[in-house]
Homo-oligomer: A and B are copies of this chain.
């Protein structure tokens, strides 16, 4: 059961003019499963993306990078679940290229105008024949209103589809932003999440898109972690169809740029948080907020040490205010000149630790009260500066072990 993640409100998902989505059953790994999704983009659409920094990145990630590097106008995305096409060597690269070629031939464009994405089991050969055979059905299914179906189509161990949508006003025009994401395990994005796609009809200078994609990923998907395992297939794509009729945004610092950024970030964060809320076995949504650091980077380092500690995560699962485990994680986060005598710790509104020691006023029952909730904020003060940063994570439960001990069987 995901943590405070209400069922998808289909009516709330705005279609994006210039984007149509088709879904089909290709039988990649299992029969009777929508496992093939195609995004069709109108001419004039701009696309930017960020990808995993895992050096064992999947074949489709390598091909995406190659195709984007050619500067060709992207006309389609093709996404399969059930197989990650990672750890597949040279044949894997050939399979990703074959998929693009087949779709390009159906769309009368070049293979470089198609971006491939895969997610699923690593190190198994991609059944490229079945994917190619499924493409015509996906094309026949293409509709602007298919965002919810796409959110379902890209799921693997996710228990619920993840989507978000907002409208913002830019230069007097209503602009729509809609996105989907997937991922529940192997989540510690280091550039982007497992798979995230956000589209907007806003008219924006295409040259700004790569920066925008990076900033969005950094403020959302790059701040979440479930198990610390950075996936081989992380990809986050930002699509702008430029059809909303607003005057083109030429700077992200302008009022219009800020309004759009705000809307995009809202969608990206909602999608990123949804991944954590649906984290494998998650029962709690935890915000780890570090303040008083010298740099945002060292704050992040401490936040991840806490967010990755199996001992901290199991204590949250048990609702046990065994908060010394948080101090231990702060201590081994790698800040060599950290002064433990300056550390402060709050759990929501409860002040637990002052000057590195448990406060005399702290009562176990207060910690217990907070730990029992399903939304918890851990706030650590480092007492070294004014920088801060935040990471979102979930607890570590029996179900995480069950899910990952059973995933392939």
Residues of A within 8 A of B (CB): 53-57, 84, 86-92, 121-125, 185-186, 188, 190, 227-232, 308-311, 314-315, 317-318, 320, 322-325, 327-333, 335-336, 338-341, 343, 353, 355-358, 396-398, 400-402, 404-409
B311 and A409 contacting across the interface, CB-CB below 8 Å: no
A357 and B87 contacting across the interface, CB-CB below 8 Å: yes
- A404: which B residues are within 8 A, CB to CB? 310-311, 314-315, 318
* A403 → chain B closest CB, angstroms: 8
- A358: which B residues are within 8 A, CB to CB? 87-89, 123-125
Q: How many copies does the complex hold?
A: 2
* A400 → chain B closest CB, angstroms: 7
- A125: which B residues are within 8 A, CB to CB? 358
- A328: which B residues are within 8 A, CB to CB? 54, 56, 86-87, 122, 186, 229-232
Could you show 22 A-B contacts with beta carbons less than 8 Å apart? Answer: A55-B336, A55-B338, A55-B339, A56-B340, A57-B340, A86-B327, A87-B327, A87-B353, A87-B358, A121-B322, A122-B325, A123-B323, A185-B311, A186-B311, A230-B332, A232-B324, A232-B327, A310-B404, A311-B404, A317-B401, A317-B405, A320-B409
Lowest 9 CB-CB distances: which A-B pairs, in order? Answer: A89-B357, A122-B324, A56-B331, A318-B405, A123-B324, A230-B332, A314-B404, A54-B331, A55-B338
- A229: which B residues are within 8 A, CB to CB? 309-311, 325, 328-329, 332
Q: Looking at chain A's contact residues, is the secondary structure mostly helix, strand, loop, or mixed?
A: loop
Select which of B55, B323, B353 is within 8 A of A335 by beta carbon: B55
* A17 → chain B closest CB, angstroms: 38
A331 nearest CB neighbor, chain B only: B56
B357 and A91 contacting across the interface, CB-CB below 8 Å: yes
- A401: which B residues are within 8 A, CB to CB? 314, 317, 396-398, 400-401
Alpha-carbon gap, A353 to B310, bound state (A):
30
* A274 → chain B closest CB, angstroms: 21
- A185: which B residues are within 8 A, CB to CB? 311
Select which of B89, B310, B320 is within 8 A of A227 by beta carbon: B310
Alpha-carbon gap, A263 to B406, bound state (A):
43
- A88: which B residues are within 8 A, CB to CB? 357-358
* A214 → chain B closest CB, angstroms: 18
Alpha-carbon gap, A315 to B402, bound state (A):
10
* Apart from A310-B404, A398-B401, 19 more pairs, CB < 8 Å: A53-B332, A54-B328, A54-B331, A55-B336, A56-B327, A86-B328, A87-B327, A87-B328, A89-B341, A89-B355, A122-B324, A186-B328, A229-B309, A229-B328, A230-B331, A232-B324, A318-B404, A398-B398, A401-B401
- A353: which B residues are within 8 A, CB to CB? 87, 123
A403 nearest CB neighbor, chain B only: B314
Which of A309, A317, A325 has the largest count of B CB atoms less than 10 A from its CB? A325
- A54: which B residues are within 8 A, CB to CB? 328, 331-332
A321 nearest CB neighbor, chain B only: B408
* A10 → chain B closest CB, angstroms: 32
A308 and B357 contacting across the interface, CB-CB below 8 Å: no
Alpha-carbon gap, A125 to B408, bound state (A):
47
